[in-house]
A and B are shown apart, each in its own frame.
Chain A
C-alpha cells in the first residue's frame, strides 16, 4: 500500500482510538455525577 494511504489510515485509526478513550472519560464523568446526585 502506498505510504500516503498508510499514513492516512493510521491517522484515522488513531483518531478512532482517541474517541474510545474520550467516551470512557464521558462515562466516568456521568457515573460520578449520577452518584453525586
Chain B
C-alpha cells in the first residue's frame, strides 16, 4: 500500500537533497537503501519516527521517511569523509540495509546524528578501514541495545506486576479459574527468572568482550540478551491478557464480596485482637493489606478456636468461637449471607471476634466436610454447647448442615450451588430473631426464596383456577432432604400450593380428592364429578404446568 507512494516520495526527496554537498557520494547509498523499502519497513520507520496523526496520511508518511533517510545518508557521508575514509572503497551494495533500517527505527527520531553514525559505522565496517570518529557508529548500536534491554525489562516488570494485581483481584472475586491462572503465573515467573538469568549471563559476557575491545561482538551479545528478554515478554504478555480478561469479566459479574474489616472497639480488645492475629500468623495465616482481612487456613482457625476454648473456659467465649467457626463454615460452603448482627451494645467484644475469625475463615478451606466431621468427633466440645447451638444457629441452618451430615456432597459441588444461589434473583434477605436458652438474643440474616418472585412467576393468578388471592408462608424448617428454605403461596380459592425452593425450583402442590379439602372443593365444583378433584379445565391447566419444568405433586 505504502510503496505506491514511494516513487513520488523519492522524487521529492531528491529534489530537496540533490543539490547538497556530498550527495554525489550519498546517492549510490540512497539507491541501495530504497531497494529495501517495502511496506513493512516503511510502516516500521513511520511508526517509530512520526506522530500518529501524520501516520494516518500515507503519502505524507512515506515522504517524511524517505526525506529523513536521505538526510541521514548525507550526514553519514560527511562523517566518513571527516574520518578520512575513502568513500570510493565503500561497497554500498554489500550493506545489509534491511537490518540497518530496522536498527534506525530503534533510534530516537530526534537524533539524526546517531542514525548517521550508525550508517557510517556500517560503511566503515564494510570497507574494513581503520576508523576514528566512525566508531561512534557502534556507539549508536550500543545505545540502542542498552535502551532496548531497559525497555524490555520495564515491560516485563510491568506485566508481571499487572498479572500479580489481577490475580489478587480474581482471588478476592473468587473466580474459579484463579487457581489455574495462579499456577501458570508461578510457572511464568520461573520462566522469566530463567530467561533473565540467561540474559544476565550474556550481558556479563558482553561486558568482558567490551573490555577486550571487541565492540562489535559485545553489541552482538547485547542483541542476543534483548532477544531473550523479548521472548520472555511475549510469553508473559499472553498470560497478562488472559488475567486482564478474567478481571474484566469478574468485575462485570460483580462477584466482589464486601470484606469484613477487623476492628477493635476498645484498647483492651485491640490488644486481644492483636494477640489472635499473632496466633493466626504463627498458624500460617496472614494480613491481607488489600482487603484488610486476615487470612488463614480453616485448620488454623479450628485449632485456634480449640486453644482459646481451653485457655478461656468461660462458656460464652467458647460459644463465640464456635459461632464464628460455624459462620465461617456455612459461609465457606454456601457463600451467601449469614450476617450476625450485634444487638447488644453492652456485649460488643464477641461479635468483633466472631467477625474477625469469620473473615479469616472465608478463604482456603482444605476440605470443609472433613472439618465438619472433625468437629463432630471433637471430645472437648461440650455436648450442651452443641445442643445450644442446635437450638439456635444450627436450627436455622439445619438443612444446610443436614446435607453435609447425611449424604456426602462434594464441597466443590456445594460451592457451585452456593455461587449460583448467591446471585439468584429468586432470593431475598430477611432477618430472624433467635433467642438461645443461654445468653442474649441476636439476629441472624437469612437469605430465603422470595414469594414476590413466585408471584411474578405465576403472573399473580393461580395457574390452576385463575383466582388471584393468595396466602403467603415462609418456612424455615424444611424437610431434611432439602438443602435450603422454601416459601409458599397458597391459592385461597382452590388451595393449590406454589412452593419455591432456594435452588429456584418451583413445585405446584394440588389437593387430592381423598381429603376434606378436596371434598370442600368438590362441593364448589360445578361439574361435581367424584372421579376428578377439579373441573376438567383445572386438570388441563395442571398438565400444562408440567411443560414449564415445574414439579407437580399432590397434597395428600
Tell me the A residues contacting B by CB distance below 8 Å: 1, 3, 5-6, 8-9, 11-13, 15-20, 22-27, 29-31, 33-35, 37
Contacts and interface: CB of A to CB of B under 8 A. Distances in A.
Interface string B382-414: 000000000000000000000000000000000
B494 interface: no
Contacts of B132: 37
Interface string B174-199: 00000000100110011011001101
Contacts of B168: 1
The A interface, classified by DSSP as helix, strand, loop or mixed, is helix
Contact of A26 (B131, B139, B185, B210): B210
Interface of B: 131-132, 135-136, 138-139, 142-143, 145-146, 149-150, 153, 156-157, 160-161, 164, 167-168, 171, 182, 185-186, 189-190, 192-193, 196-197, 199-200, 203-204, 206-207, 210-211, 213, 215, 218-219, 222, 225, 286
A29 B211 contact: yes
A22 B131 CA distance: 28
Given A1-B168, A9-B160, A26-B146, A16 B185 contact: no
B181 to A, nearest CB: 12
The 7 closest A-B pairs by CB, nearest first: A27-B146, A29-B210, A23-B149, A34-B135, A30-B210, A26-B207, A16-B153
B146 A33 contact: no
Contacts of A29: 207, 210-211
Given A12-B193, A22-B207, A1 B164 contact: yes
Given A16-B153, A30-B218, A5 B189 contact: yes
Contacts of B189: 5, 8-9, 12
A34 B190 CA distance: 37
A29 B228 CA distance: 22
Given A1-B168, A25-B207, 11 more contacts: A5-B189, A11-B193, A13-B160, A16-B156, A19-B153, A19-B199, A19-B203, A20-B149, A22-B204, A23-B203, A26-B207
18 contacts: A1-B167, A5-B164, A5-B185, A6-B164, A12-B160, A12-B193, A12-B196, A13-B157, A15-B196, A16-B156, A23-B145, A26-B206, A26-B218, A26-B222, A29-B211, A34-B215, A37-B131, A37-B213
Contacts of B211: 29, 33
A8 B222 CA distance: 26
A22 B215 contact: no
